[in-house]
Amino acid sequence: MRKAKLDRKTNETDISVAIDLDGTGVRQIETGVGFFDHMLDQLSRHSLIDMAIRAKGDLHIDDHHTVEDVGIAIGQTLKTALGDKKGIVRYGASDLVMDGTRSSVTLDVSGRAFLVWKVAFNAPKIGNFDTELVREFFQALAINAGITLHAQTYYGDNNHHIAESLFKALARALRQAVEIDPRASGEVPSTKGVL
């Protein structure tokens, strides 16, 4: 069973995450940050990873701690659910369009955390949501899941669509990478024998 749960409590946030890598995209998400909930909904739906995420954070300060800490918690939960990574495809890539925006996410579930970020927003906010927090989430997830992750937006003027295309591309790439490869289901996808 490729499932995991995590409770993470700090002075700034109180978070619980449960995921099932072999789900259908069933989701229950409540972080107190409306736009972020919308993005996490896309992440679960398009990855087909079941996600239950509850977060209470110091939103009276701003959304930063909540968004970053949810990224940390999802990353750690993904890493636990993947276990020894036997049988996974390992690599995933999605080149995705959303109206006038095109973004891509390419990733390697390598055990080596790295983020390449080639994304530019043209405004500091999407509603009340700081656009810089999109990168904070991706970085926290990549580092804590042990994923090499490259994200790029080629073009796009609508900041909502830029963010959403990135989350959807992440979802599709994750879906591909964590799938069990029927031709190598008992093998770790590395010549080293470990990831």
Q: Contact 107/141 with Cβ under 8 angstroms?
A: no
> Which token pair is 86?
């036997």
Contacts of 14 (CB under 8 A, 6+ apart): 8, 55, 56, 57
Task: Report pLDDT for 45.
Answer: 98
**33, two tokens:** 């940050």
Rounded CA separation 48/14 (Å): 25
> What is the per-residue pLDDT for 139?
98
Please, which pLDDT band fits residue 157 given cuts at 50, 70 and 90?
A: very high
- Residues 7-44 have pLDDT tens digits of 999 999 999 999 999 999 999 999 999 999 999 999 99
Closest residue by Cα to residue 173 from 70, 102, 90, 116: 90
Go through the domains of the chain in sequence order and give each one's CATH number.
Answer: 3-178 (3.30.230.40)
pTM over 0.85: yes
Query: Tens of pLDDT along 182-195?
Result: 999 789 999 888 88
